[in-house]
Amino acid sequence: MLPFLHGDPDPSALTPLQALTGQRIIHTAVERRGTRCVFDRGWVIESREQRLADIALTLRDPRALGARCAQSTVGRDGDLLVTLDGPAGPLPLETRAPWTVTGPYGVVVRADHSGQVSSAGPSGPVHATAEALARHRESSIGGVERAVLRAAQNEPFIHPGHVVAALTQAGAVADDEFERRGPLVLARLLVRGELEAGFVTDGAFSAWSMPIEQIIEHIGTTWLAIGGREPGRDMIAWFRLTDQGRDALGPTGVQALGPGMSGYDSPGVVGRHR
Checking if the pLDDT of 242 tops 60, the result is yes
241/229 Cα distance (integer angstroms): 22
- Average pLDDT (112-137) is 93
Task: Say which amino acid occupies 137.
Answer: R
- Average pLDDT (93-108) is 95
Checking if the pLDDT of 148 tops 90, the result is yes
Checking if the pLDDT of 270 tops 70, the result is no
The pLDDT value recorded for residue 87 is: 82
- Average pLDDT (205-230) is 96
14: buried, middle or exposed (CB in 10 Å: 19+, 13-18, 0-12)? buried
**In 112-246, where do the E strands start and end?**
117-120, 195-201, 204-207, 238-241
The pTM of this model reads: 0.83
Checking if the pLDDT of 256 tops 60, the result is no
33/171 Cα distance (integer angstroms): 28
Sheet with 195-201, strands from edge to edge, namely: 204-207, 195-201, 238-241
The pLDDT value recorded for residue 146 is: 97
User: How many C-beta atoms lie closer than 10 Å to residue 121's C-beta?
Assistant: 14
Is residue 129 within 8 Å of residue 217, measured between CB atoms?
A: no
The pLDDT value recorded for residue 144 is: 97
Checking if the pLDDT of 23 tops 60, the result is yes
pLDDT tens per residue across span 176-216: 999 999 999 999 999 999 999 999 999 999 999 999 999 99
- Average pLDDT (127-154) is 96
**267 band by pLDDT with thresholds 50, 70 and 90:** very low
